[in-house]
Amino acid sequence: MADSHGHLPRGPRGIYFATLWSIKGLKAAWLHESSFRLEVVLFIFAFPLGLWLGHSPVERALLCGILLPVMAMELMNSAVEAVIERYGPEFHELAGRAKDMGSAAVFVCMMAVLLVWGMILIPRFL
């Protein structure tokens, strides 16, 4: 939520509530978004694999860290879709465009995963 008191530091209480709201959002995504659940399952398998396949701390950080933006973008895409659905299921060109762009953003993040994993791992097998 937006700060109602300007740009003052939140303090421990504000950080606590922000954490609760974030957890609430993660729970909602898990309950209502099958794509998010799939990406979490893939993360659960790919993260340890990245730790194992990385030869250096930098490689491990790249292989594992690149997985997080996919889930973050899926959360943003789901948020955009929820707002659009809030206004009704009827077709509107701009609503369709917004949903397609959100999906494309997730796709771009997935391509970044393939690029990083490919650039690190393919040379080892060639």
User: What pLDDT digit, counting tens, does each position of 33-69 carry?
Assistant: 999 999 999 999 999 999 999 999 999 999 999 999 9
The predicted pLDDT at position 116 comes to: 98
Of 33, 39, 59, 74, catalytic? 74
pLDDT (tens digit per residue) in 104-125: 999 999 999 999 999 999 998 8
Catalytic (active site) residue 33 = no
Per-domain boundaries in the chain: 34-125
* Class of the domain covering 34-125: mainly alpha
Q: Phi first, then psi: what are they for 111, rounded to 5°?
A: -65, -35
* Nearest-10 crossing angle of helices 34-53, 93-125: 20
Portion of the chain with pLDDT greater than 90, in percent: 76
Rg of the chain over CA atoms, in angstroms? Answer: 18
